[in-house]
């Protein structure tokens, strides 16, 4: 079975093609994202969208993409309800787990983990608690998207329960953890590789991959928006 191709689209937005051929977007903030390459702002195909929380720089283009492509949307239960009841998404296409829950979408298992942050939509609607995701892909690859969070001790439970191989962590500081906390997160998670995100988008986000690399022995993959790696 093929490897997974993971593309960073700037900020906390990622696209990856699963070994089974599904195209998945995580936190698809494309239009309005100053770091998203122009040729990535209008996806040609979207099969699954996973949203960690309701802030506009993560919810992004979810509604428009889901309606255009008929994508399955996975979101924490309150946010999922808002997408159906207030944004008109098809309830048959929305999955609404909560932390500790796992959903299976076409052979891809998506588990919700804790994240320490806040969550509301742009109109101020409470959007439930934020979360992270662990994706178990068709070939057994396990990817952990932490979402917006600080470091917290129970990351070691995520390591024990889900055994992720790659951690996608925010490192920008100010709104999330910076490099110092991210280095400790990597120690707790015990992963082989880290892909930093949520940095460099806006002036307040001062953390960098170089600063993180100085603080950890874990491989830190320094991607530019639009770059693709194999995981």
How far apart, in whole angstroms, are the C-alpha atoms of residue 149 and residue 162? 18
Residue 1 in this model has a pLDDT that exceeds 60: no
**Is this model's pTM higher than 0.85 or not?**
yes
Task: Give the tokens for residue 118.
Answer: 């806040």
Residue with tokens 């100085």: 214
Mean pLDDT, rounded, for 134-153: 98
Quote the percentage of the chain above a pLDDT of 90.
Answer: 99
Domains within the chain, CATH numbers bracketed: 5-224 (3.60.15.10)
Residue 181 in this model has a pLDDT that exceeds 60: yes
How far apart, in whole angstroms, are the C-alpha atoms of residue 45 and residue 65? 9
Whole-number pLDDT of residue 3: 87
Nearest to 152 by CA among 188, 179, 119: 188
Residue 207 in this model has a pLDDT that exceeds 60: yes
In this prediction, residue 134 has a pLDDT band, given cuts at 50, 70 and 90, of very high
Torsion, CA 224, CA 38, CA 72, CA 81, rounded to 10: 90
Residue 2 in this model has a pLDDT that exceeds 80: no
Mean per-residue pLDDT of the chain = 97
């Amino acid at each position: 079975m093929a490897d997974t191709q993971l593309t960073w689209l700037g900020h906390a937005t990622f696209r990856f093609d699963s070994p089974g051929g599904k195209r998945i977007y995580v936190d698809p903030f494309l239009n309005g994202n100053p770091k998203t390459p122009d040729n990535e702002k209008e996806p040609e195909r979207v099969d699954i969208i996973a949203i960690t929380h309701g802030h506009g720089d993560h919810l992004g283009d979810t509604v428009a993409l889901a309606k255009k492509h008929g994508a399955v949307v996975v979101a924490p239960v309150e946010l999922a309800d808002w997408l159906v009841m207030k944004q008109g998404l098809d309830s048959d296409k929305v999955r609404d787990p909560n932390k500790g829950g796992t959903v299976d979408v076409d052979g891809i298992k998506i588990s919700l983990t804790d994240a320490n942050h806040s969550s509301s939509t742009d109109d101020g609607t409470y959007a439930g608690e934020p979360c992270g995701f662990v994706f178990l892909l068709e070939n057994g690859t396990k990817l952990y998207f932490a979402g917006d969070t600080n470091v917290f001790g129970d990351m070691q439970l995520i390591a024990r329960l889900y055994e992720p191989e790659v951690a996608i962590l925010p490192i920008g500081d100010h709104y999330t953890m910076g490099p110092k906390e991210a280095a400790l997160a990597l120690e707790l998670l015990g992963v082989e590789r880290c892909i930093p995100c949520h940095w460099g988008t806006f002036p307040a986000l001062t953390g960098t991959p170089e600063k993180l690399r100085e603080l950890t022995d874990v491989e830190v993959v320094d991607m530019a928006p639009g770059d693709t790696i194999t995981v």
